[in-house]
Amino acid sequence: MTDLLLFNATNGLIIGAFYALMAIGLSLILNLSNVINFAHGGFLVIGAYLSYTLTPYLGFWGALIVAPFLTAAIGLIVERLLIRRVYGRDPLYSLLLTFGLAFIIEDGTRQIWGALGKPTSIPAFLSKPLSYQFFFITGYRLFMVAIVVLAIALLFVLLRYTRAGIRVRAGTLDLETVAALGINIRTLRSLNFAIGIFLAGLAGALASGQLGLEPTMGDGLLMPSFIAIIVGGVGSLTGTLLGGLMIGVATGLTAVVFPSASDAIMYVIMAVVLLVRPRGLLGEEGMLT
């Protein structure tokens, strides 16, 4: 039993890291632009399908690098054409807009790539377990965690040490003042949105190695990401990271003792956090990092 719990806790961390990658992209966009991006799961699917389509030409590694950038480019176009129009309005507008967008992306991918799932493979050396006992730690899962850690580390460096990053953080605190200082917040928001979507695209390219690739694959991943943000605290990227990991571990452990509640446990955690500490674990309204 102890073994089983330990196994599942480790396994939960691996899954949690993946949730965190999704959630941080979502959180970035929410923090600066006040847009709750429902289409985030859709962008994940776009990233996954692009990597599938590019693999024959660029190989697994090439596709893994190029697909997130292409997804970010699509994100940028969507931001310019649609999302920009709802900035500063009641959040309901952005909810409705991105909700509709999620449907359009889902049906769009179905039109382009078909309703039937697509087979995706990963390089053989990654698709093996590392040891007989720890069979659930495969090369690919470790690789996923490594990429997530790398991406998040880069993001934190970007936000802390680059001019654009500092502006994003400042904008999260007080966009009005940032604008008054002569910084072009339109560009800032576009850049920030593109980075968020890049992370969704990366999550998609990684997920397609492990999950079945089909137009609804993002739906199941969107909910845990939202919960990670709420649990971690709106406005805090570190909180989001923590929230993602917590949810991963909690679902893993619940699957040992009460499997059919492994989905529900996320909501239980959310409810408890909201009752005890409504702003989330590390949430201070408007704070980033």
Partner 1 sequence: MKNPVLSLTTDRRTVLKGAAAAGALQIASPFVVPVWAADNLKIGICNPLTGTYAAPGKNEQTGCQLAADQINAKGGILGRKIELLIEDSTSGDAGTAVQKTRKLIDRDHVNFLVGNVNSALAQAMAQVSNEKGVLHIVPGGHTDPITGTDCKWNVFRVCNTTRMEANSICPLLFKTYGKKWHFITPDYAFGHTLYQGCEANLKKLGGTVTGNELTPLGITDFSAYLIKARAANPDVLVVLVQGNDMVNCLKQISQFGIDKQIHVAGTQQELESVEAMPPEARVGVWMFEWYWKQAAGTAGLDQFIADIRKRSGGKVPTARTWFGYVTIHAYALACAKAKSIEAKAVAKALSDMELPPEVKLQPNKVYFRGGDHQLMLSAFIGQLNTKGDGDPENLFKVNSIVAGESIAPSIAETGCKMQMPA
Which window, 12-20, 55-63, 66-74, 153-161, contacts partner 1 (CB under 8 A)?
12-20
Selected binder of partner 1 within 251, 269, 281, 288 (CB under 8 A): 251
> Can residue 238 be called a binding residue for partner 1 (CB under 8 A)?
no
Give, as ranges, the residues between 128 and 167 that touch partner 1 (CB under 8 A). Answer: 128-129, 135-136, 138, 140
Alpha-carbon distance of 279 to 285, in angstroms, equals 7
Selected binder of partner 1 within 49, 52, 198, 226 (CB under 8 A): 226
- Please, which residues have CB within 8 angstroms of residue 161's CB and are 6 or more apart in sequence? none
Q: Which residues pair with 129 in a beta bridge?
A: 138
Tell me the closest approach of the beta carbon of residue 86 to partner 1, in angstroms. Answer: 11
Say if residues 25 and 197 touch (Cβ distance below 8 Å): yes
For the record, the structure tokens of 265 come out as 């446990």
> Can residue 62 be called a binding residue for partner 1 (CB under 8 A)?
no
> Can residue 69 be called a binding residue for partner 1 (CB under 8 A)?
no
CA dihedral sign, ordered 216, 222, 223, 224: positive
Selected binder of partner 1 within 116, 181, 275, 276 (CB under 8 A): 116
Over the window 19 to 38, marking each residue x when it contacts partner 1 by CB under 8 A and - when it does not, the resulting string is: -----------xx--x-x-x
Buried (b) or exposed (e) across 135-170, using 16+ Cβ within 10 A? eebbbbbebbbebbeebbeebbeebeeeeebebbbb
> Can residue 53 be called a binding residue for partner 1 (CB under 8 A)?
no
